[in-house]
Amino acid sequence: MKRLFSGIQPSGTIHLGNYLGAIKRWVTIQEKYDSIFSVVDLHALTVYQDPKKFRNQIIDTAKILLASGIDPEKSIIFVQSEIAEHLELYWILNSITKVAELELMTQYKDKTQNGKSSTAGLLNYPVLMASDILLYDAQIVPVGEDQRQHLELTRELARRFNGLYGKTFKEPEELIEKVGSKIMGLDNPTKKMSKSASSEYNYIALTDEPEKIKDKIKKAVTDSETLIKYDPLKKPGISNLLTILALSLGKDVKEIENKYFGENYGRLKIDCADAVVQLLSKFQENYKKISDKKVESVLKKGAASAGKIALQKIEEVYQKVGLR
């Protein structure tokens, strides 16, 4: 069975975009792959995190994974910072990574445009991501469109290290779904739904009450036309609602588009809201039942399992580079 690795940051509010674009898929694919899922708290430190709240966010993110259906009996769930080998491999990979490669990363360029200054952590973020993946010999990595460039750098670093020191790392393959890999903001459907958005009307939190969900979708930005058609470039708002509705119902976007041909935007929004409420009802029920003590127990067990794999790999790497 091929090994899969993916991670989620415990920053901001975990929202519907995270769920439809990643977590919901993880629940399904854990049956097919030897799956490792990490709460990547070190990645979250590229922006300031309130120390008093951060640990609670880490636990809450793991609780969300469990409530969504990630099964600790089938998958490893752990917190990134619990495994020191992530940072050890990160440093070694940094030593073979070119600054120019990192400066070409789209996310870095977007966040430093117009002369904005950056931290070294933001620049080196893709190298830590590469260490997360390569440390576990992951062959499959589920990614969104905005992470494909980072995964290609991971493959390049694997090739480069193998060329210098001998076969050590596997080159991971991407697992991507074109529909749903990027859920857009309700208040601005030209940009991805964001955990750190200044307005709560940008996203639907997984713990939002039904009436709040309905209110947010009712106020979602659309356009001045009346045609319900899937066209992300010309009709981003309507296309986003069609995508959310289709994924919430487990149906094809084209099927949903055909169903609503001739209907008005109001009907689409009402049905979309109802579908999201129904989708999240089971999750919210599970979420309320899971104690922090249970989460801590799962994470401790996961760290032990992940740690064994990581230690074996870092020892191999140390021997290859001459540190052992």
The answer to whether 11 and 57 have CB atoms below 8 angstroms apart is yes
Neighbouring CB atoms inside 10 A of 54's CB total: 16
Residues 24, 63, 182, 192: which is the catalytic one? 192
195 a catalytic residue: yes
What is the rounded radius of gyration, in angstroms, for the C-alpha atoms of the chain? 21
Residues 24, 63, 182, 195: which is the catalytic one? 195
The answer to whether 212 and 284 have CB atoms below 8 angstroms apart is no
Structure tokens given for 197: 């958005």
Q: Can you tell me the distance from the alpha carbon of 73 to that of 217, in angstroms, rounded to the nearest whole number?
A: 36
Listed in order, strand segments (DSSP E) in the chain are: 3-8, 34-39, 76-79, 140-142, 173-175
- Write phi, then psi, for 76 (nearest 5 degrees): -90, 130
Q: Can you tell me the distance from the alpha carbon of 182 to that of 33, in angstroms, rounded to the nearest whole number?
A: 23
192 a catalytic residue: yes
Residues 111, 212, 294, 301: which is the catalytic one? 111
111 a catalytic residue: yes
User: What positions carry a catalytic annotation?
Assistant: 111, 192, 195
